[in-house]
């Protein structure tokens, strides 16, 4: 599924919300752990979250670290979850933050954006619609993903300005009046320039926790979709994320993880119902702020 197909889902569902599937075993209710298998506990929990949200949100994001933590069993859950999310029509983002030198970046791309055929069998355990990419090694490493973007009709989000506190340390260093994150934004623009679509396949991660950087980056990268982390648990609010959207009310998706998947604890409901209520609430809040800013697409 490409960025334009994602956009169609956003419009159909009137929702720019990405549900972050970052399960933590210690927060998953015991009823999911009865048979003692990690992969089943993680997947069954995710399945209930997906069942609660697939009709009202366009996308999910799987933070692979929370699966890698549990080894092979954890990654089986990653693979099962992304397959189930696809079946339910969701756009699936693998939040993998990979990036390496030439042929190594290509191997990551082949495994996560594409697939490998071996002995006539397709290996697509980790194939998703979109992955996040770390730019510290420069553009040759990001470029390795472009071949698979074109071949499989996929997309990526490049880390531009991350939501954490110490993102300033490297990303905000300014030389000749240009910060590192603006340089990365420049690489994103160059990569998108070869595509005709309104939004190119190279998106940007821009944290909700830095509102003024968000405003300037939105202007700088008109043709890039933004993936906005930092909403909710990390401190970003609906007002902050409005600046991630273009004037037409499109161009951004907003992620929330803990606030959605663990909402059942807060409201004392099932996992499914908790996730559903959290997304409905988040849709409402963001849409209200978009309306106030005169940026609503689906009036």
Where does this chain bind a second copy (CB under 8 A)?
Answer: 22, 25, 36, 38, 63, 65-66, 68-76, 79, 97-102, 104-105, 107-108, 110-112, 116, 118-119, 123-126, 134-141, 159, 162-171, 173-175, 180, 183-184, 187, 229, 234
Smaller CB separation from a second copy, 9 or 168: 168
Q: What is the C-alpha to C-alpha distance for residues 152 and 154, in angstroms, rounded to an integer?
A: 6
Instruction: To the nearest 10°, report the CA torsion of 201, 58, 49, 153.
Output: -30
Strand 91-98, strand 116-118: pairing:
unpaired
Q: Report, in Å, the least distance between residue 298 CB and a second copy.
A: 31
Q: Report, in Å, the least distance between residue 222 CB and a second copy.
A: 22
Smaller CB separation from a second copy, 155 or 163: 163
Strand 252-256, strand 174-175: pairing:
unpaired
Smaller CB separation from a second copy, 4 or 104: 104
Smaller CB separation from a second copy, 58 or 99: 99
Q: Report, in Å, the least distance between residue 159 CB and a second copy.
A: 6
**97 catalytically annotated:** yes
Q: From residue 10, how far is each of 139, 158, 232 by CA, in Å?
A: 30, 20, 20
Q: Report, in Å, the least distance between residue 186 CB and a second copy.
A: 10
Q: Measured at the alpha carbon of residue 298, what is the angle toward residues 292 and 299, in degrees to the nearest 5?
A: 60
Question: Which is the catalytic residue, given 37, 97, 239, 285?
Answer: 97
Q: Measured at the alpha carbon of residue 46, what is the angle toward residues 40 and 51, in degrees to the nearest 5?
A: 120
Residues with catalytic roles: 97
């Amino acid at each position: 599924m490409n960025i334009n197909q994602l956009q169609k889902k956003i419009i159909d569902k009137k929702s720019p919300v990405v549900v972050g599937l970052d399960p933590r075993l210690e927060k998953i209710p015991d009823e999911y752990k009865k048979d003692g298998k990690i992969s089943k506990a993680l997947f069954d929990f995710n399945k209930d979250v997906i069942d609660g949200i697939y009709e009202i949100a366009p996308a999910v994001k799987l933070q692979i670290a929370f699966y890698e933590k549990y080894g092979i069993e954890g990654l089986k859950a990653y693979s099962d979850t992304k397959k189930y999310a696809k079946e339910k029509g969701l756009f699936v983002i693998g939040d993998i933050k990979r990036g390496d030198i030439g042929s190594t970046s290509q191997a990551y791309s082949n495994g996560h954006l594409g697939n490998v055929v071996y002995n006539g069998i397709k290996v697509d355990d980790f194939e998703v619609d979109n992955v996040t990419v770390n730019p510290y090694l420069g553009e040759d490493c990001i470029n390795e993903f472009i071949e698979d973007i074109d071949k499989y009709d996929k997309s990526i989000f490049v880390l531009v300005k991350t939501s954490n506190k110490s993102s300033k340390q490297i990303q905000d260093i300014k030389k000749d009046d240009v910060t590192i994150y603006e340089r990365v934004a420049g690489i994103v623009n160059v990569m998108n320039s070869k595509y005709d679509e309104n939004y190119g396949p190279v998106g940007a991660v821009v944290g909700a926790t830095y509102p003024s950087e968000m405003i300037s980056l939105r202007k700088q990268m008109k043709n890039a979709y933004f993936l906005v982390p930092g909403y909710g648990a990390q401190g970003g609010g609906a007002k902050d994320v409005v600046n991630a959207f273009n004037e037409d009310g499109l161009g951004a998706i907003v992620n929330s993880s803990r606030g959605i998947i663990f909402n059942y604890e807060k409201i004392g409901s099932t996992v499914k119902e908790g996730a559903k209520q959290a997304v409905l609430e988040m849709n409402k809040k963001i849409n209200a702020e978009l309306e106030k800013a005169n940026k609503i697409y689906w009036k």
